[in-house]
Amino acid sequence: MSLFTSHPRSFETNRFVYPVVSRRSGGVSIGVNLNPDKVCNFDCIYCQVDRVSAAETKFVDMSQLLDELDHMLDLVASGKLYEQGKFSATPAHLRRLNDIAFSGDGEPTTYRNFDEIIAACAELKRKHKLDDVKLVLITNASMFHRPVVERGLEILDQNNGEIWAKLEAGTEDYFKLVDRTVIPFRQIVDNISAAAKVRPLVIQALFMRVAGEAPPAAELEAFCDRLNEITTAGGKLKLVQVYTVARRPAESYVAPLTNAEVDAIVALVQARTGLAAEAFYGAAASDA
């Protein structure tokens, strides 16, 4: 199993903090799992989290999480991470700590004390003198309107933070097909637009083959319309990450797009919106 297709939710005996070599960050990302109970307000058809087996941990122990992060920062900064297991195969150009990423087994912004945990992790980053290391929030943007989340986003802004917001549909129907949530699509678009007026956001757009069918052309056009809607309203989008399935998805009818199909979506986004866009390919995809 490759470095990129295996993103385990634990490292040694850790329960909340884990290292991965990230294609999209171009280095090592230290993941912070704020949803060890595997509960999420989305039920994406492509999700790689195993929600069948019971969660080993139901609640976040903040003290233990911070201890694990403190140790992991030492492990990566010292280079000792690359002496262990599969990390010994990490290419030289990826042996750099890029970020601390709040992600994991659910939507991190649903964590009750979201602003407090962001502040505590930012303090640890300062302790280790890692000002250049980003704090990345990987999110579906569903909770941005909540005051505790707004405070957390402000703390990110003050600590070299970056928000990667999921947007992978242009219409309500396709959104419901892919993300399977009761949350309205309009709430997601409005939340992203409001947050992007305050700071530049990165958009995560995962497209896939569903029951053998690639995303319809009309849906991709509508996706570009939503991006233009956000920027026309004053939102700042620094990058659109277009990617596809790289690990085993929740549903067997989901499959990756080919490299050429991903490239075509990138070209469409660039042509229709003028935004910077980057392609990330699936492990099983080809150029066919």
Give the Cα separation of 136 and 211 in Å (integer): 32
Instruction: Work out the mean pLDDT of the chain and round it to a whole number.
Output: 91
What are the tokens at 198?
A: 């305050």
Q: What is the pLDDT of residues 12-36, one digit of tens each?
A: 789 999 999 887 778 999 999 999 9
Among 8-12, 23-27, 46-50, 105-109, the range with the most confident prediction by mean pLDDT is 105-109
Q: What is the percent of the chain where pLDDT is above 70?
A: 91
Distances (CA, A) of 214 to 87, 210, 218, 253, 285: 34, 6, 11, 12, 13
CB 238 within 8 A of CB 277: no
**Distance from first CA to last CA of the chain, Å, rounded?**
23
**Residue 143: is its pLDDT beyond 70?**
yes
What does the pLDDT read at residue 10? 41
**Can you tell me which residue has the tokens 């505590």?**
120
**CB hemisphere CA count around 159 (13 angstroms):** 25
Averaged pLDDT for residues 260-287: 88
**Domains of the chain in sequence order:** 17-280 (3.20.20.70)
Quick one: pLDDT band at residue 11, thresholds 50, 70, 90? low
Quick one: pLDDT band at residue 242, thresholds 50, 70, 90? very high
CB 147 within 8 A of CB 74: no
Averaged pLDDT for residues 38-46: 94
Distances (CA, A) of 259 to 174, 243, 245, 263, 267: 22, 9, 11, 6, 12
E strand residue ranges, the chain: 17-22, 27-33, 97-103, 134-139, 161-166, 201-206, 209-210, 237-243, 254-255, 277-280
**Residue 255: is its pLDDT beyond 60?**
yes
Q: What is the pLDDT of residues 61-94, one digit of tens each?
A: 999 999 999 999 999 989 999 998 889 999 999 9
**Residue 115: is its pLDDT beyond 90?**
yes
Q: Hey, how many other C-beta atoms are within 10 angstroms of the C-beta on 199?
A: 16
Higher pLDDT pick, 48 / 230: 230
44: region left, alpha or beta (phi > 0 left; psi from -120 to 50 alpha): beta
What does the pLDDT read at residue 97? 94
- Cβ neighbours for 183, distance < 8 A, ≥ 6 positions apart: 41, 42, 142
Higher pLDDT pick, 256 / 5: 256
Query: Would you say the C-alpha torsion 199, 192, 274, 28 has a positive or negative sign?
Result: positive
Distances (CA, A) of 161 to 99, 137, 182: 9, 8, 29
What does the pLDDT read at residue 54? 57
CB 240 within 8 A of CB 196: no
**Residue 41: is its pLDDT beyond 80?**
yes
